[in-house]
């Protein structure tokens, strides 16, 4: 794996990431795989979990992270992303970029001589999806479960489809008409599913949550979608994860949300704080999975 721009980049090592993340979670300070290594973190979009987890990850791995908001770089004054990539990659050992456009991350990687990690784009959020698969396995002890994703088929949903299909996990996306995930990614996930044995379904039928093992949702109005807020709230209101929906799932189903959450919109406070919610463990696991990704991309496992 040269870069992590899409979950597809992990198809040959996804289980290695899961295994290493498990080791790192058990011994957070015991792996100094990135001694004297530096990671540039470029942010076009605001962040809580991505910034903190990557920064702490580099610290625990004995490396160093640089927080670089776009507004403080020449990118913010119009420098071509190609030029920024060529320069920054001469200074550091790796780059994590959280961008508006997926094409910008691709362009950055094509002009970087160091590994580039997609920290979020409008198309994918691979670090989140890999974390979600890891979290599900931690709770269910198997990948052979059924995951239902409710609501907007956004970047997180896209990456989840790819990750689930790679590990053999069944996934049903339940979205209103017009809010389904990217068709190209759905096609790719179905190709992976043919090899892994998973089942991928896209539906508008809320009742398809019946009997599932994992209920997942995300915000209805993502960063960049604010101008569509009223329309989105109207179209997605029937796809809220609430007690009625949860009661249709397996009685041992877990509830997931990648955060930040708009309580009372895509998920109720009652469900989010229920005993079936694993949202806080899910958030913590960003740290452990990203440490595994960083170790495999920027250094060697010396633990």
Could you report the per-residue pLDDT of 178-234, keeping only the tens digit for each?
Answer: 999 999 999 999 999 999 999 999 999 999 999 999 999 999 987 677 778 889 999
> Looking at 37-164, which runs of residues are DSSP E strands?
38-43, 64-69, 94-98, 116-120, 146-150
- Answering whether pTM is above 0.85, one says yes
Whole-number pLDDT of residue 272: 97
How far apart are the C-alpha atoms of 270 and 268, rounded to whole Å? Answer: 5
Contact between 152 and 179 under an 8 Å Cβ cutoff? The reply is: yes
Which run of H or E residues covers position 60?
helix 49-60
Least confident of 71-80, 93-102, 230-239: 71-80
Least confident of 62-66, 124-128, 225-229, 254-258: 225-229
The answer, yes or no, to whether residue 302 has pLDDT greater than 60, is no
Q: Is 36 left (phi over 0), alpha (psi -120 to 50) or beta?
A: left
pLDDT in tens, 256-298: 999 999 999 999 999 999 999 999 999 999 999 999 999 999 9
How far apart are the C-alpha atoms of 149 and 216, rounded to whole Å? Answer: 5
Whole-number pLDDT of residue 300: 59
User: Between 67 and 224, whose confidence is greater?
Assistant: 67
How far apart are the C-alpha atoms of 78 and 276, rounded to whole Å? Answer: 47
pLDDT in tens, 90-118: 999 999 999 999 999 999 999 999 999 99
The answer, yes or no, to whether residue 301 has pLDDT greater than 50, is no
Q: What is the mean pLDDT of the chain?
A: 96
The answer, yes or no, to whether residue 14 has pLDDT greater than 50, is yes
Whole-number pLDDT of residue 99: 95
Whole-number pLDDT of residue 222: 76
Tell me the average pLDDT across 230-247.
Answer: 95
Residues classed as catalytic: 98, 125, 128, 218, 258, 286
pLDDT in tens, 129-177: 999 999 999 999 999 999 999 999 999 999 999 999 999 999 999 999 9
Domains defined for the chain, CATH in brackets: 7-125+286-298 (3.40.50.1370), 127-282 (3.40.50.1370)
């Amino acid at each position: 794996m040269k870069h992590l721009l899409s979950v597809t980049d992990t198809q040959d090592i996804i289980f290695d990431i899961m295994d290493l993340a498990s080791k790192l979670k058990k011994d957070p300070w015991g792996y100094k795989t990135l001694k004297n290594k530096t990671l540039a973190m470029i942010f076009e979009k605001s962040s809580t979990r991505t910034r903190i987890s990557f920064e702490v990850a580099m610290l625990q791995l004995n490396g160093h992270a640089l927080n670089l908001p776009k507004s403080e770089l020449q990118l913010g004054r119009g420098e071509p992303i190609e030029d920024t990539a060529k320069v920054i990659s001469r200074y550091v050992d790796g780059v994590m970029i959280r961008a508006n456009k997926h094409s910008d991350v691709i362009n950055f990687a094509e002009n970087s001589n160091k590994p580039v990690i997609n920290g979020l784009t409008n198309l994918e959020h691979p670090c989140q999806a890999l974390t979600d698969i890891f979290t599900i396995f931690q709770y269910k002890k198997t990948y052979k479960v059924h995951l239902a994703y409710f609501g907007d088929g956004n970047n997180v949903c896209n990456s989840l489809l790819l990750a689930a299909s790679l590990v053999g996990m069944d996934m049903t996306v339940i979205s209103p008409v017009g809010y389904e995930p990217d068709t190209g990614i759905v096609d790719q996930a179905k190709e992976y599913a043919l090899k892994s044995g998973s089942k991928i379904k896209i539906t508008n039928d809320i009742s398809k949550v019946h009997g599932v093992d994992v209920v997942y949702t995300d915000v209805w109005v993502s960063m960049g979608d604010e101008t569509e807020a009223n329309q989105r709230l109207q179209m997605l209101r029937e796809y809220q994860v609430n007690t009625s929906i949860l009661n249709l799932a397996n009685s041992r189903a877990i509830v997931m949300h990648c955060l930040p959450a708009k309580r009372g919109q895509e998920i109720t406070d009652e469900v989010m704080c229920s005993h079936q919610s694993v949202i806080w463990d899910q958030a913590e696991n960003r740290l452990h999975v990203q440490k595994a990704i960083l170790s495999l991309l920027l250094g060697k496992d010396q633990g």
